[in-house]
Amino acid sequence: MRSPYGLEIVERCAGCQRCEPHAFCKLPGPSLRALEAVKYTTLYPRGALLFVEGQPGRGVHIICSGRVKLSATSSDARVIITRIARAGEILGLCATLSGEPYEVTAETLEPSQVNFVRAADFTRFLATNAEASLRAAEQLGRNYSAALEQVRLLGLSHSAAAKLARFLLDLGGAPASNGNGHADRLRLALTHEEIGQLIGASRETVTRLFSEFKHENLIEVKGAVLRLNNRPALEALASY
């Protein structure tokens, strides 16, 4: 069934064909049925807030489809985007397990399907499902690695150009070339201001660098579609 946002609604985890490689998507049948008994499925448009930094941790949000940006704000309203979460990830995991407030704000970047599990139900689910507990621990490990990589990006990159190059390379993950020499094609959902918040640069700097990258034929941008025309050159620029 299609939603108003054009998403294919998936109510049952056991029958889901997406099978994302992270978190709870490939749990054994009994564990999936136990998860289905405690989850609440919701569809969100772009720009919806799942939770806000400082809000008491009410539970976890499991992304079924779509992408979510995680951000933190200073007392003088400066914003930094810590990372972009994708389908298969669990959000609010640390806050839910520790009983602390959410550390970041989670906002959808595109129409998304998200499962919510209340904190008490989630802890009981982990206590009775060893495989799920292991997957949750693996997610915490990935979160740590992502935070460390963000620190490396902000602290060890030699220039804003290097940070932008690293962002573009990470955006699509592994090379997407089809073997015929075609450039990588990526979908760019962030504004220049949001990219700046992610790499620690001003919007003006990001706009200038995009123009320079296009002039040097490193990238090509058409609407929301971005092509990496010279991945080796970007990799050289992005090296720490």
Quickly tell me which residue has 């499925």 as its tokens: 41
CA-only gyration radius of the chain, Å: 19
The whole-angstrom separation of Cα 229 and Cα 18 is: 30
Q: Are 85 and 27 in contact (CB under 8 A)?
A: no
Tokens describing residue 80: 């930094």
Structure confidence at residue 22 (pLDDT): 62
User: Which pair of structure tokens corresponds to residue 24?
Assistant: 């709870």
The beta strand positions in the chain, using DSSP E, are: 39-44, 49-51, 59-65, 68-73, 79-85, 90-91, 105-108, 112-118, 184-187, 219-222, 225-228
What is the full per-residue pLDDT of the chain (240 aa) written as tens digits?
Answer: 556 767 777 766 666 665 556 667 778 888 888 999 999 999 999 999 999 999 999 999 999 889 999 999 988 888 888 888 988 899 999 999 999 999 999 999 999 999 999 999 999 999 999 999 999 999 999 889 888 888 877 777 789 999 999 889 887 554 444 444 445 788 887 889 999 988 889 999 999 999 999 999 999 988 888 899 999 999 998 886
d(CA 34, CA 129): 9
Check residue 176 and give its pLDDT: 44
pLDDT of residue 88: 87
CA-nearest of 45, 115, 108 to 71 is 108
- Among 3.40.50.300, 1.10.10.10, 3.30.2350.10, 2.30.29.30, name the CATH number for the domain at 158-238: 1.10.10.10
Within the chain, all domains assigned CATH 2.60.120.10 are found at 13-155
Q: Are 104 and 150 in contact (CB under 8 A)?
A: no
Residue with tokens 């660098």: 209
pTM confidence score = 0.78
Amino acid at 179: G
Distances (CA, A) of 107 to 47, 52, 69, 231: 6, 9, 5, 30
For 13-155, CATH number out of 2.60.120.260, 3.40.50.11540, 2.60.120.10, 3.40.50.300 equals 2.60.120.10
Q: What is the DSSP string of 144-209?
A: HHHHHHHHHHHHH-SSHHHHHHHHHHHHH-S----SSSPPEEEE--S-HHHHHHHHT--HHHHHHH
pLDDT value, residue 181: 45
Q: Which part of the chain is CATH 1.10.10.10?
A: 158-238
